């Protein structure tokens, strides 16, 4: 449901507003990971509250679909603060991002029909970029499956933040 709302909301915003919101979101997420307790050092495990489960998923879907930021960027810090090791946060968050990505992609294809020209576009979806992202994502999963179990949890949390910084720098440039 969140992905549906986010996709429709994004079509009402200008590119510069979406980009600005994306940058703001990344800055807030990075600052939250660095400054608030519970990310760099894993706390004791606690259960997600019913309110977080009921409201958190749709909010993640809205933000992910509207800004084009993967839902895992919100899910990993959430699960980390609940006391999960980074490898478990990542392995849980990535599949949870798939329904949001699929719903948003279908909607962007439909909502952008006839609005973007070019042979590589299907609605608002650039099929070439989609293909590159799919190949890179699958490659990343294979790499992570082999490497993550051997990485220290605290180092993994720091690497995660460095990767978020890389995304922030790329979008700013």
Rounded Cα–Cα distance for residues 116 and 168 (Å): 26
Amino acid 116: pLDDT = 86
72-108 pLDDT tens trace: 888 899 999 999 999 888 888 878 888 888 889 999 9
Which residues, at least 6 apart from 167, have a Cβ–Cβ distance to it below 8 Å? 26
Q: Where are the alpha helices (DSSP H) in 11-152?
A: 15-35, 50-67, 72-81, 86-111, 127-147
* pTM (2 d.p.): 0.83
Place of tokens 């490659």: 139
Helix, coil or strand: residue 123: coil
Amino acid 84: pLDDT = 92
Q: What is the DSSP letter of 151?
A: S
Amino acid 118: pLDDT = 86
Which residues, at least 6 apart from 161, have a Cβ–Cβ distance to it below 8 Å? 30, 33, 34, 39, 40
Amino acid 80: pLDDT = 93
Amino acid 68: pLDDT = 84
Residues of the chain with pLDDT below 70 are none
Rounded Cα–Cα distance for residues 136 and 139 (Å): 5
């Amino acid at each position: 449901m969140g992905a549906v709302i986010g996709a429709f909301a994004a079509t009402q915003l200008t590119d510069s507003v979406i980009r600005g919101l994306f940058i703001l979101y990344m800055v807030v997420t990075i600052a939250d990971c660095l400054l608030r307790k519970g990310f760099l050092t894993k706390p004791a495990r606690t259960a997600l509250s019913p309110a977080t489960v009921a409201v958190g998923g749709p909010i993640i879907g809205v933000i992910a679909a509207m800004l084009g930021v993967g839902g895992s960027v919100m899910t990993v810090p959430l699960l980390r603060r609940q006391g999960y090791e980074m490898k478990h946060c990542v392995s849980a968050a990535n599949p949870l991002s798939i329904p949001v990505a699929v719903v948003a992609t279908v909607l962007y294809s439909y909502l952008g029909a006839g609005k973007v020209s070019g042979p590589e576009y299907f609605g608002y979806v650039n099929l070439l970029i989609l293909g590159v992202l799919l190949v890179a994502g699958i490659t990343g999963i294979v790499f992570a499956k082999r490497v993550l179990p051997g990485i220290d949890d605290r180092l993994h949390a720091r690497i995660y933040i460095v990767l978020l910084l890389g995304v922030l720098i790329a979008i700013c440039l």
